[in-house]
């Protein structure tokens, strides 16, 4: 059992019946009613294939200034640098702006700092290099909003700076030619949760007022979808529209590099969903940044050569395999440093020699396993710690860092994921401070809970045609999660180990209906239940396709001995 508490939301039967009478699928009706969606028009808007309206890009503060400066640079043949980040959001932003600048025959270059040698964001040394290379204008994507000192340095060098970002702002904004970020306190843009690539797309829309937005979506939405999903931005409103169109492009006419990258994964012959991006595409693209070779992922997104695309996709696959090995090693070592009792506050672990490129993944896995915020810090030979922070529940990690800023050399990010730079000697005090903040905000630490939509009382609801209908609710993601439902008091009829013992294949029986289950990252010996026992199962219903045959399969999140009524 992974979760101590299961919180089953339940649903209003009369409201679900009403939606069914309006012609909606019964499984969709029950799921949406459990989430508070009872109006037929709202359901239609969720499953509609039509395009909703996107907001005017000039609602973003400083967008007019950004457009004027970039157009002036192109007209004057000034050298432009696109300055990005080494994650998928940053890479896709850089790729998109590169494609646009290339179409304008602009003189430009892309600069993505090395994760291992330079760290995140603008730096004075990077600006010095760009100045020496003849750059007059730096346009940031997915970074720059906290670069106050760096912006002053750029101005001292005589360089122009346009910042586009989506991260949280500090009290002082950088002194740049334009600062475009929906999280600016004075910004009226309605969508405050654009990804960095979403802001970059809005910039291109503003730069192309004569081109219909639909044409720009057809050209760039796949990149917007990749970056938005990978950065775990809420799948709602404008983001949902952009992701939906982007996934459609990837499925119908993927750009060359993505086609070869899909061929390297088990997802090659499947319909690409937001989940596919999360487990197949994003990790491989991110592996380039984590292993210090971000340029390979960028080249893959930009290439038009089949041979190069195939080679780059293969290299990213190999890097991802190495990344997994390093991640597992550090995760196991970090877990061994925890006390035997489950942590009831933030996990803050630091060590010299940990590979910085995978600390973010390790922190995310620690937060997921233990249900508390996790901060994993790699300390270099000079005693400087660089840490990745991942939140859990409703804890706002960025706000917590703001309360600790006197202990930090630098920090940035947002409330679910952030990064810190901290001196070795400050880590213990930082651990105490952030633990206190967590306990004040959370009160007595609650038992870790799993939020479920509803209980399936009649297994007939899980007919394959009903599960297939869930596709109309895609894309799923943050703020619009895939179904998480449960069956209680089922008979566990079969348990098998698969994947070299790492995973379990199960079979359950309820009311005379047998259902196949898969429980990833759960060895059979750790299940805590065995064949012949009555069990409760929490899962997402899916369709498994094997050798051309489709069948219902439950993707298990948790399993426990059946609780009495």
pLDDT in tens, 69-124: 999 999 999 999 999 999 999 999 999 999 999 999 999 999 999 887 787 889 99
How many of the other CB atoms lie within 10 Å of CB of 278? Answer: 15
Question: Directed axis angle between helix 282-290 and helix 294-302, to 10°?
Answer: 140
Residue 443 has pLDDT above 60, yes or no: no
- Residue among 433, 434, 410 nearest 423 (CA): 410
Structure tokens at 411: 């920090």
- Bridge partners for 53 per DSSP: none
Helix (H/G/I), strand (E/B), else coil: 226: helix
The predicted structure's pLDDT at residue 445 = 46
Q: How far apart are CA 244 and CA 431, in angstroms?
A: 41
Rounded to the nearest angstrom, the gap between the alpha carbon of residue 86 and the centroid of all alpha carbons in its chain is 14
Percentage of residues of the chain with pLDDT beyond 90: 76
Task: Report the pLDDT averaged over residues 468-497.
Answer: 93
Say if CB 224 and CB 121 are below 8 A apart: no
The predicted structure's pLDDT at residue 125 = 95
Q: How far apart are CA 450 and CA 457, in angstroms?
A: 19
Q: Phi/psi at 52 (nearest 5 deg)?
A: -85, 170
Least confident range from 52-61, 127-136, 137-146, 213-222: namely: 52-61
The predicted structure's pLDDT at residue 246 = 96
- Residue among 40, 32, 100 nearest 70 (CA): 100
The predicted structure's pLDDT at residue 264 = 85
Residue 444 has pLDDT above 60, yes or no: no
pLDDT tens by residue, 501-514: 889 999 999 999 99
- Residue among 378, 484, 453, 367 nearest 416 (CA): 367
Average pLDDT, the chain: 92
How many of the other CB atoms lie within 10 Å of CB of 103? Answer: 10
pLDDT band at 236 (very low <50, low <70, confident <90, very high): confident
**CB-count burial class (<10 Å; 0-12, 13-18, 19+) for 27:** buried
pTM for this prediction: 0.86
The predicted structure's pLDDT at residue 137 = 98
∠ CA 280-502-505, nearest 5°, is 90
DSSP tally for the chain: helices H, then strands E: 19, 17
Residue 267 has pLDDT above 90, yes or no: no
Task: Report the pLDDT averaged over residues 432-446.
Answer: 78
Residue 516 has pLDDT above 70, yes or no: yes
The predicted structure's pLDDT at residue 370 = 85
pLDDT tens by residue, 340-352: 877 888 999 999 9
Task: Report the pLDDT averaged over residues 305-334.
Answer: 94
Query: Could you give the C-alpha distances from 522 to 346, 361, 367, 502, 506, in angstroms and in order?
Result: 24, 19, 17, 6, 11
Say if CB 200 and CB 97 are below 8 A apart: yes
The predicted structure's pLDDT at residue 369 = 82
- Of residues 394 and 29, the one with the higher pLDDT is 29
- Of residues 120 and 308, the one with the higher pLDDT is 308
Say if CB 154 and CB 161 are below 8 A apart: yes
Cβ neighbours for 24, distance < 8 A, ≥ 6 positions apart = 40, 43
- Residue among 175, 182, 188, 180 nearest 163 (CA): 180
Q: How far apart are CA 26 and CA 239, in angstroms?
A: 27
Percentage of residues of the chain with pLDDT beyond 70: 97
pLDDT band at 1 (very low <50, low <70, confident <90, very high): low
């Amino acid at each position: 059992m992974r979760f101590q508490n299961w919180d089953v939301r339940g649903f209003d039967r009369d409201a679900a019946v009403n939606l069914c009478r309006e012609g909606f699928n019964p499984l969709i009706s029950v799921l949406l009613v459990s989430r508070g969606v009872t109006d037929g028009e709202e359901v239609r808007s969720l499953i509609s294939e039509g395009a909703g309206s996107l907001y005017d890009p000039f609602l973003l503060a400083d967008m007019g200034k950004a457009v004027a400066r970039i157009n002036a640079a192109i007209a004057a043949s000034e050298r432009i640098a696109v300055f990005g980040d080494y994650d998928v959001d940053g890479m896709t932003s850089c790729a998109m702006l590169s494609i646009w600048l290339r179409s304008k025959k602009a003189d430009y270059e892309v600069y993505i700092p090395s994760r291992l040698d330079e760290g995140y964001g603008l730096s004075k040394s990077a600006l010095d290099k760009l100045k020496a290379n003849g750059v007059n204008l730096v346009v940031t994507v997915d970074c720059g909003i906290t670069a106050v000192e760096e912006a002053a340095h750029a101005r001292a060098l005589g360089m122009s700076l346009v910042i586009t970002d989506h991260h949280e702002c500090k009290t002082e904004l950088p002194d740049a030619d334009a600062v475009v970020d929906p999280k600016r306190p004075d910004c009226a843009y309605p969508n405050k949760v654009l990804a960095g690539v979403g802001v970059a797309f809005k910039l291109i829309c503003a730069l192309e007022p004569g081109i219909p937005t639909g044409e720009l979506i057809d050209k760039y939405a796949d990149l917007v979808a990749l970056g938005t999903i990978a950065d775990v931005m809420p799948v709602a409103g404008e983001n949902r529209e952009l992701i939906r169109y982007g996934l459609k492009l990837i499925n119908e006419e993927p750009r060359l590099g993505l086609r070869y990258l899909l061929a390297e994964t088990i997802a090659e012959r499947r319909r690409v969903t937001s989940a596919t991006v999360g487990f197949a595409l994003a990790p491989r693209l991110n592996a380039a940044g984590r292993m210090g070779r971000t340029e390979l992922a960028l080249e893959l997104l930009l290439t038009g050569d089949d041979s190069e695309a195939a080679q780059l996709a293969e290299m990213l696959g190999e890097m991802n395999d190495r990344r997994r090995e390093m991640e597992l090693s550090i995760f196991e070592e970090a877990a061994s440093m925890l006390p035997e009792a489950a942590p009831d506050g933030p996990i803050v672990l630091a060590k010299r020699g940990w590979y910085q490129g995978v600390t973010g993944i390790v922190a995310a896995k620690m937060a997921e396993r233990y249900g508390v915020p996790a901060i994993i810090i790699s300390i270099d030979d000079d005693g400087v710690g660089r840490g990745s922070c991942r939140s859990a529940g409703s804890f706002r990690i960025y706000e917590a860092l703001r309360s600790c800023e006197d202990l930090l050399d630098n920090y940035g990010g947002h409330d679910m994921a952030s990064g810190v730079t901290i001196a070795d000697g400050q880590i213990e005090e930082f651990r105490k401070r952030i633990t206190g903040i967590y306990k004040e905000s959370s009160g007595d630490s609650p038992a870790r809970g799993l939020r479920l939509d509803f209980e399936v009382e009649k297994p007939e609801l899980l007919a394959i045609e009903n599960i297939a209908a869930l596709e109309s609710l895609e894309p799923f993601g943050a703020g619009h999660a895939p179904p998480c439902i449960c069956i209680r008091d089922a008979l566990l009829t079969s348990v098998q180990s698969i994947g070299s013992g790492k995973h379990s294949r199960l079979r359950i029986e309820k009311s005379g209906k047998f259902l196949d289950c898969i429980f990833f990252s759960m060895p059979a010996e750790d299940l805590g239940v065995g064949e012949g026992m009555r069990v409760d199962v929490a899962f997402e219903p899916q369709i498994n396709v094997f050798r051309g045959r489709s069948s219902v399969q439950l993707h298990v999140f948790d399993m426990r001995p059946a609780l009495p009524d």
